[in-house]
């Protein structure tokens, strides 16, 4: 399968603002593969969605995201907001700090290796999560490829976004996690998974399509991006000390054996609470609850 002329969407601020330095090398590597492409730079939060939507609407059937998980999230959302999403493929050159989606689907976090496989004929037809939430007193909707969450997870993401991004990997997320300890209180939520309803106090709740989050934590070790299901990881009313003790097991993916952790698989989830809670998707704070999630099976073609 020969790839069509591509639109490359570059986030120069990704990877602690290192992508703008890497771009000349990446551009040369892409040219050396024989790929036909043109490119645009994002200029701020949300711009990747606009650029990707415009490109897909204008006939591009191959979009390449150069940046981190947030950039991939925006380009995927732009594609999904068009009528041509089924015919459009997404390629990934990861230059970000987390690389969680790349870990899940097997794309190298080394951009030089990722560039060499950008013309691969292989496609992974991935499911896409949909989240409905609130922002500025309005109902909103966003797509996510990797994971979304509420509770301690979202609070950690909110703090992580405000930290200087001078280090990569899991360190920024861990810093945000420890900062979140200061004021966070577990949330009492009304939870509906499929047809099953319950009221429960949780530390955090992650709705996962991929395995990893937080720069390498294997939060949903049984998740597959093409199994037509979302993995709901519920961490119950665990103390902060208990969380610290359990944290190493999250990296190994063995935390599911903890008595206050459980996994559900579902196609739809709804979360409500009398108290305010933040909602994140693919490492970006979107807004507030109540929040509902569902799966779109086989919705996006990923070049692998």
Residue that terminates a domain, selected from 97, 121, 145:
121
Q: Are residues 103 and 36 in the same domain?
A: yes
The pLDDT assigned to 244 comes to: 84
Q: Are residues 144 and 286 in the same domain?
A: yes
Mean pLDDT of all residues belonging to the chain = 92
CATH number at residue 51: 3.40.50.10330
The pLDDT assigned to 128 comes to: 98
Average pLDDT in the 51-80 region?
Answer: 96
Residue that terminates a domain, selected from 121, 145, 160:
121
Long-range Cβ contact pairs of 114-120 (< 8 A, separation 24 or more): 115/26, 115/29, 115/30, 115/33, 116/29, 116/33, 117/303, 117/304, 118/30, 118/33, 118/35, 118/64, 118/91, 118/93, 118/303, 119/3, 119/33, 119/34, 119/35, 120/303, 120/304
Q: Are residues 144 and 194 in the same domain?
A: yes
Average pLDDT in the 163-188 region?
Answer: 70
Burial 19-51 (b: 16+ CB within 10 A, else e): beebbeebbebbeeeebebebbbbeeeebbbbb
Cα–Cα dist 154/178, whole Å: 13
**Half-sphere exposure of residue 294, counting CA atoms within 13 Å on the CB side?**
5
Q: Are residues 148 and 216 in the same domain?
A: yes
Q: Are 82 and 56 in contact (CB under 8 A)?
A: yes
Residue 4, pLDDT > 90, answer: no
CATH number at residue 252: 2.60.200.40
Cα–Cα dist 281/230, whole Å: 13
| Residue 203 is assigned to a structural domain of this protein | yes
| Residue 131 is assigned to a structural domain of this protein | no
| Residue 215 is assigned to a structural domain of this protein | yes
What length does the chain have? 304
Q: Are residues 252 and 188 in the same domain?
A: yes
What region does 137 belong to: left with phi over 0, alpha with psi -120 to 50, or beta? left
| Residue 68 is assigned to a structural domain of this protein | yes
The pLDDT assigned to 169 comes to: 54
Cα–Cα dist 74/254, whole Å: 31
Q: Are residues 113 and 43 in the same domain?
A: yes
Q: Are residues 209 and 273 in the same domain?
A: yes
Q: Are residues 151 and 269 in the same domain?
A: yes
Kindly indicate the confidence band of residue 173, based on its pLDDT and cuts at 50, 70 and 90. low
Residue 276, pLDDT > 70, answer: yes
How confident is the model over 11-34, as pLDDT tens digits? 999 988 899 999 999 999 999 999
| Residue 57 is assigned to a structural domain of this protein | yes
Q: Are 266 and 194 in contact (CB under 8 A)?
A: yes
Q: Are residues 171 and 32 in the same domain?
A: no
| Residue 238 is assigned to a structural domain of this protein | yes
SS3 191: strand
What region does 184 belong to: left with phi over 0, alpha with psi -120 to 50, or beta? beta
Kindly indicate the confidence band of residue 180, based on its pLDDT and cuts at 50, 70 and 90. confident
Q: Are residues 109 and 193 in the same domain?
A: no
CA distances from 24 to 118, 256, 280 (A): 16, 43, 32
Q: Comparing 2-16, 113-127, 187-201, which segment has the lowest mean pLDDT?
A: 2-16
Average pLDDT in the 40-63 region?
Answer: 97
Which residues are registered as beta bridge partners of 135? 138
Which is it for strands 6-10 and 62-67: parallel, antiparallel or unpaired?
Answer: parallel
Q: Are residues 142 and 290 in the same domain?
A: yes
The pLDDT assigned to 79 comes to: 98
In the chain, what percentage of residues exceed pLDDT 70? Answer: 94
The pLDDT assigned to 98 comes to: 80
Provide the domain count of the chain: 2
The pLDDT assigned to 153 comes to: 83
CA distances from 139 to 30, 135, 270, 285, 286 (A): 40, 7, 14, 15, 11
Note down the domain range covering 98: 6-121
Q: Are residues 114 and 183 in the same domain?
A: no
This prediction's pTM: 0.90
| Residue 79 is assigned to a structural domain of this protein | yes
The pLDDT assigned to 303 comes to: 95
Average pLDDT in the 132-136 region?
Answer: 95
How confident is the model over 241-270, as pLDDT tens digits? 888 899 899 999 999 999 999 999 999 999
Residue that terminates a domain, selected from 121, 145, 170:
121
Cα–Cα dist 28/35, whole Å: 11
Average pLDDT in the 209-226 region?
Answer: 93
Cα–Cα dist 184/46, whole Å: 28
């Amino acid at each position: 399968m020969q790839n069509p002329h591509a639109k490359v969407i570059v986030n120069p601020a990704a990877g602690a603002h290192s992508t703008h330095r890497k771009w000349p090398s990446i551009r040369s590597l892409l040219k050396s593969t024989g790929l036909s492409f043109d490119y645009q730079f994002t200029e701020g939060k949300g711009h990747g969605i606009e650029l990707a939507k415009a490109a897909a609407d204008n006939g591009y059937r191959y979009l390449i995201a150069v940046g981190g998980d947030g950039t991939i999230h925006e380009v995927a959302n732009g594609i999904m907001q068009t009528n041509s999403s089924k015919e459009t493929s997404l390629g990934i050159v990861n230059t970000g700090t987390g690389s969680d989606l790349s870990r899940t689907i097997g794309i190298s976090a080394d951009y030089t290796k990722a560039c060499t496989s950008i013309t691969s004929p292989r496609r992974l037809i991935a499911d896409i999560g949909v989240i409905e939430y609130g922002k500025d007193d309005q109902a909103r909707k966003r797509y996510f490829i990797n994971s979304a969450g509420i509770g301690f997870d979202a609070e950690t993401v909110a703090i992580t976004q405000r930290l200087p991004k001078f280090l990569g990997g899991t360190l920024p997320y861990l810093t945000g996690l420890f900062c979140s300890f200061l004021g966070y209180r577990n949330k009492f939520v009304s939870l509906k998974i499929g047809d099953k309803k319950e009221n429960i106090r949780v530390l955090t709740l992650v709705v996962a399509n991929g395995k990893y989050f937080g720069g390498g934590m294997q939060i949903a070790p049984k998740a597959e991006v093409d199994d037509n299901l979302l993995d709901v990881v519920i961490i119950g009313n665990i103390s902060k000390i208990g969380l610290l003790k359990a944290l190493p097991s999250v990296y190994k993916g063995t935390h599911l054996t903890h008595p206050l952790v459980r996994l559900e698989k579902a196609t739809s989830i709804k979360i409500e609470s009398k108290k305010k809670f933040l909602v994140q998707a693919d490492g970006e704070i979107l807004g507030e609850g109540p929040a509902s999630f569902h799966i779109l099976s086989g919705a996006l073609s990923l070049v692998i």
